[in-house]
Each structure stands twice: as structure tokens, then as C-alpha cells.
Structure 1
Amino acid sequence: MLSIKVVLCTLTVLILWGAEMDVDACSCSPVHPQQAFCNADIVIRAKVVGEKRVDTGNDIYGNPIKRSQYDVKQIKMFKGPDQDIDAIFTAPSSAMCGVTLDTSGKMEYLISGKVDASGKMHMTLCDYITPWDSMSSTQKKSLTQRYQMGCECKITRCHTLPCSISAPEECLWTDLMMEKQMYGSQANEYACVKRADGSCSWYRGVAPPKKEFLDIEDP
């Protein structure tokens, strides 16, 4: 089963929790895993054990709003409220940024999403959702500390050469330009972390970075 990569919804598609919208496609722009983590309300490791179609309210015309409800077994929470997540909601089709997951309970996922006004977790194709086994060991370790350490930093994607950062709080994401793939070594092995002087820099390593680190490290 193909991994669902880290992506961020653009203005091409506007997802409203309280209303259905007719759209032709879901358009998203890739983001670094750390950026997706920082943007999410909830990030969990879980298995999907069931799915059903449910009504989640009515639109402005009184028509029921349909959603897919995934029943999940939470394994670990990396970010979110002090309670287990047992259900996640998504749109019923990929055209509306709805997510399709394996419901056999055999596959573990890393799932991120948003929380609505009622406290329910929702996910779209524009969130960070990928099979746990497809993640690098660095990515998995970064979920517990390093990504959060860099949430005040900004990861700027290099679209075309030449490219550069415009502020010391930025890290330049060059996987596409340097490795000809969006999710290369910077996405898989690095975190953008704030340094002692307030600037941000890429960090690679198993241990959390030292507070005074000044450049990319490899312990």
C-alpha cells in the first residue's frame, strides 16, 4: 500500500468541517515531516480496526454531512490531549481530501490531524499520515522531542535554484533540488532546531542536540 506523504492543503481546496463542498480534486503541497508535526493538533501511532459512514451534522440546507469514521487502537500519542483517541473522521472521498486506510488492524500508522470544536479528531490527505514501518529511525525518534524543539523555526522549501533563506530562523529544505526527490535525506534524517543564539539549523543525530550546538551535528 502506498504511503500517504506529508502534505499541506493549498487554497485550491478549502475543507470545512461543518459543510460539504463539491470539488474536483484535492490539491496539496508537500511539507517537511517536522512542519507537519508542528501544524497538527494531534499526532498518534495507531492501528485502524474498523470503518463506517456516519452523519456528523447538517449543512446550511439541512442535508446530512457524511464522514468516514475510522475506529483506531492508539499505541502511542506524541502530541495531543491527555486521553486516548479511538475514532478519527475524514471526508468520504479523496477528491474532498478524504483518507483511505487499511482497516485490517495489521498495519500501524503515524497519523496527524486537527481537532474540531466538539473535540473530535479529523484528518485529510493534507496531514501527516504514513505507515509506521515506512518512517526512518530518525523520524521516529524526532517525534518525541526534536520536532517540537523546532516548532518556532520555519522550514523553507527550495522550489528553484538559486534559493536562500530570508531570516536566521529558517532552515532551507533542498531535497527536491539536490536529490531530485521531495522526501530525501533532510526529510528522513534531519530536524530544524533552534540554536543558542536564536537562529535555526538542521540537526542530524540520535541524541537530542546540545543547547549550544552551532551547526549540523552527527554524534
Structure 2
Amino acid sequence: MFRLSSEGSLHTPQSILSRLQTERLFAERRNQTVIRKFRYQFKSERTFSSSWTASRAPSKMNPLLSTLLFSLLLLLTLRIQELIEACSCAPAHPQQQICDSALVIRAKISSEKVIAPSEDPLHTHKMIQYEIKQIKMFKGFEKLKDVQFVFTPFDSSLCGVKLEANNKKQYLLTGQILDDGKVLIHLCNYIEPWDDLTFSQKKSLNQRYQMGCGCKISTCYMVPCSITAPNECLWTDWLIERKLYGHQAKHYACIKRSDGTCSWYRGGPPLEKEFVDISEP
């Protein structure tokens, strides 16, 4: 039996069968190639996914180590919160604090009273009102004659000052005078029990400290440390004694001379005899 193809060629059953087998063989090869490609692609994707998952997945941690890390993070967070909320003041020599204050008085604290916040922009926080008995005024005559009350923030984080209100202990108080005439004191002011002041500090309150308000007192923390201007005094307590309020802060004042230069002066003998030039520690 013979069959005529559409192209007009003659094919026997054997040739047709051979062609079908050939086409079937090519089809099977194509399918195998597709399957191999699919398997390779699937394997590659699975390998990538596994490696990505392994790299991203958190590793198991020792329970003790996990607890320690958590505790450390908690303590660090609390410490940062304390630093944010705490009052911080730049170190300043007592003379500088006296010069920067509008009011300097010696007084006893008679009583204290907590004042609630008000709508007044100057009193938006809870305050402590200290009733005082003024003993002597060293600075502030031109604005106030007699001070009866001083105010300080209630919270220590806002630099509030805690004083003994027993009408016995005397304090040196320095502070600022607000627009409404009220006196504000805080931890960054120079506030000390009167009995803790040295003889030189008490004498310097009358005139010497204010004689040196045109001088600049610079703190030395490390060497080299040298003056940068003729009217500058170097404060070396930290460098020599490893504490800020050491011998120099307690016994010396930085005084301006007639030629415009400034030098340390120790209270006691006349000015011209006791100048001490400390330009290099």
C-alpha cells in the first residue's frame, strides 16, 4: 500500500513509520532538555533561598548571654536617661561665678514653701520659695536693697538647690534677678555654706573678686596649657590636684593690674607684694 504526500512525493508505510519514530525521538529529547533546565533552575532557586534564609535567620543564643546583654542594654538606657535629665554645669572658678551673678548675699534660710506652676512664662515649673534673712549684701545694691525670698526649681534635674531651712545655717547665695524682681538661684550658681568658705574667699567677696571681673579665668585640664591673652589667668587646680576647687580656687583671686594684665593674687598682704604669675603650669 502506498500513500501520496501533499508535496506529491511517494511514501511507503516503512518510511512513514521511520519518520514518526524520528519525530517522537526528537520530541522526547526536547522534553528531557526542558525538564533538565527546569530541575536546574529549581535547584538553584532552592539553594539561594536556603542560603538567604540561613544568613537572615537569627542564630540561637545562649540564654545566659541573652540575659546579660538585655541587662546591659537596660542599664545603658537608664544611664542615658539620667544624663539627659540631670543638671549639668560648666566648671567655673568662684570668682567667675561671682562676676556672672547679679546678686551676692550672705543669708540664713528661715523657711521653705513649694509653689505650684503658673501661667506666668517665668514660672512654668514647680518652684521652691525660700524665705531668707539677709545678713549682708555684696553685690546687687543697684537693683535690690533687701531680699526676703529666693526661688529655685523644685526638681534637681532643672538645677534646683536644696538648702537647710532651719534659720541657723548661713549661706553665701549668688543668683540672678528676674524682670519681676524675684531672685532665682540654681546649682550652677556659687552657693556654699558660709562656714565652708576660706578666709581669703570671704575677704575677696568685698572687693577683690569684682576687681578681676575684667579678667578671663581659663581652666587647665592638661599640658600644654598657656595664656592666650594678657588679661587671662590659668586655673590649674585640676591639673595639679585632680580636683577643680582646690588651693587656687580657695585662696586666690585673678586681679587686673594697672597695665591691663591679670595675675593671681593671694589674699592677705598688699596687692603689689603678693602677685603670683602662673602663666605655665
**Normalised by the size of structure 2, how large is the TM-score?**
0.64
- 1:119 correspondence with 2:181: yes
Q: Is the 8 Å Cα contact of residues 125 and 153 (structure 2) preserved in structure 1?
A: no
Give the Cα–Cα distance (whole angstroms) in 1 for the partners of residues 124 and 179 of structure 2. Answer: 18
2:113 to 52, 57, 64: 52
Give the Cα–Cα distance (whole angstroms) in 1 for the partners of residues 117 and 133 of structure 2. Answer: 21
SS at match of 1:47: strand
Unaligned runs of 5+ in 2: 1-83
Q: Is the 8 Å Cα contact of residues 265 and 274 (structure 2) preserved in structure 1?
A: no
Give the Cα–Cα distance (whole angstroms) in 1 for the partners of residues 167 and 104 of structure 2. Answer: 18
Q: Is the 8 Å Cα contact of residues 195 and 214 (structure 1) preserved in structure 2?
A: no
- Matching residue's letter, 1:73: K
SS at match of 2:164: coil
- 1:148 correspondence with 2:210: yes
* Distance change in 2, residues 1:117/1:207 (3 Å): farther
Give the stretch that moved more between structures: 200-209 or 97-106. 200-209
Residue 147 of structure 2 corresponds to 85
1:185-196 correspondence to structure 2 within 5 Å: 185-196=247-258
Which has more helix, going by share of residues?
A: 2
Residue 132 of structure 2 corresponds to 72
1:172 to 234, 237, 240: 234
Percentage identity across aligned positions? 51
- 1:159 correspondence with 2:221: yes
2:266 to 204, 212, 215: 204
RMSD between aligned residues:
1.9
Q: Is the 8 Å Cα contact of residues 173 and 191 (structure 2) preserved in structure 1?
A: yes
Q: Is the 8 Å Cα contact of residues 50 and 72 (structure 1) preserved in structure 2?
A: yes
Give the Cα–Cα distance (whole angstroms) in 1 for the partners of residues 213 and 148 of structure 2. Answer: 27
Give the stretch that moved more between structures: 30-39 or 81-90. 81-90
Residue 133 of structure 1 corresponds to 195
**Normalised by the size of structure 1, how large is the TM-score?**
0.82
Give the Cα–Cα distance (whole angstroms) in 2 for the partners of residues 133 and 208 of structure 1. Answer: 25
- Return the structure number with greater relative CO, CA threshold 8 A, min gap 6: 1
Q: Is the 8 Å Cα contact of residues 109 and 131 (structure 2) preserved in structure 1?
A: yes
* Distance change in 2, residues 1:38/1:64 (3 Å): closer
SS at match of 2:195: helix
Shift of 1:205: 2.5
Give the Cα–Cα distance (whole angstroms) in 1 for the partners of residues 156 and 115 of structure 2. Answer: 17
2:246 to 178, 184, 190: 184
Shift of 1:64: 5.5
* Higher-Rg member (1/2): 2
User: How many residues in Structure 1 have an aligned counterpart in Structure 2?
Assistant: 191
Unaligned runs of 5+ in 1: 1-22
